[in-house]
């Protein structure tokens, strides 16, 4: 058994974020699924914000809150430091830029992708109802384009967001864009070529690829085909 345990569900982009770092570093870990609709009491004790993922490092603590870290950003910072991964930039400015793009992805991008598109498509289907296509379509056509514009500009034609190298910024943006891709596909490549190229590259990286296979197995029952919102 591994020292590290990730608690969550593969379908969460924030879980994907943590798995991407662990895979990038070649680290073994165990995974324990958590029902986000009915979280067990023991999990709430280690996740006071009622969110996934939570990481446990058994080399520090095997029971209760000891050895646990909640929130993907905190977990990623811990893993970067623990394994000297170098995912937060080579210079002070690059560090600031990487952390900013991580925050942007986790909040400004994640909110419409998750709450206003992914969930309106998926959650009604899980209850045997029709997707809220109107909400999802409005998000796709009216809300997300400004975020795509910003990220296209941030890439500025490059393969990576910060310092010409793979960083937490690429992971954080990538997990949200691949979440979008699971439900609807990628945006218009003619309009956002660098962002689409980046997303396609992230889909092939360690951690991303394995997680997305698991996601598809879970989601195929409810979203067998990508939803056209154009």
What are the pLDDT digits (tens) for 103-127? Answer: 999 999 999 999 999 999 999 999 9
In the prediction, which pLDDT does 151 show? Answer: 98
Contact 215, 183 (CB under 8 A): no
Q: How many Cβ atoms from other residues are within 10 Å of residue 94's Cβ?
A: 18
Residue 37 above 90 pLDDT? no
> Which CATH number goes with the domain that contains 158?
1.20.1050.10
Q: How many Cβ atoms from other residues are within 10 Å of residue 6's Cβ?
A: 22
Tens of pLDDT, residue by residue over 172-216, are 999 999 999 999 999 999 999 999 999 999 999 999 999 999 999
- Cα–Cα nearest to 19, from 34, 7, 3, 36: 7
Contact 178, 13 (CB under 8 A): yes
> Which CATH number goes with the domain that contains 64?
3.40.30.10
Supply the range of the domain harboring residue 71: 4-83
Is 224 a member of any domain? no
């Amino acid at each position: 058994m591994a020292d590290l345990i990730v608690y969550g569900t593969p379908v969460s982009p924030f879980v994907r974020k943590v798995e991407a770092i662990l895979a990038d570093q070649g680290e073994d870990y165990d995974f324990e699924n958590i029902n986000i609709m009915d979280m067990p009491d023991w999990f709430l004790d280690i996740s006071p914000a009622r969110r996934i993922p939570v990481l446990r490092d058994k080399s520090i603590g095997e029971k209760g809150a000891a050895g646990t870290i909640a929130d993907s950003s905190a977990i990623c910072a811990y893993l970067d430091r623990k394994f000297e991964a170098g995912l937060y930039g080579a210079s002070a400015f690059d560090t600031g830029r990487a952390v900013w793009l991580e925050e942007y992805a986790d909040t400004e991008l994640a909110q419409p992708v998750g709450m206003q598109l992914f969930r309106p498509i998926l959650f009604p289907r899980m209850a045997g109802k029709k997707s809220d296509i109107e909400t999802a379509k409005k998000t796709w056509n009216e809300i997300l384009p400004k975020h795509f514009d910003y990220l296209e500009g941030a890439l500025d034609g490059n393969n990576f967001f910060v310092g010409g190298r793979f960083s937490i910024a690429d992971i954080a943006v990538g997990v949200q864009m691949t979440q979008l891709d699971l439900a609807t596909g990628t945006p218009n490549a003619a309009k956002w070529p660098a962002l689409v190229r980046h997303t396609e590259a992230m889909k092939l990286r360690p951690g991303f690829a394995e997680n997305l296979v698991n996601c598809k197995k879970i989601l195929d029952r409810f979203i067998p085909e990508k939803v056209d919102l154009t």
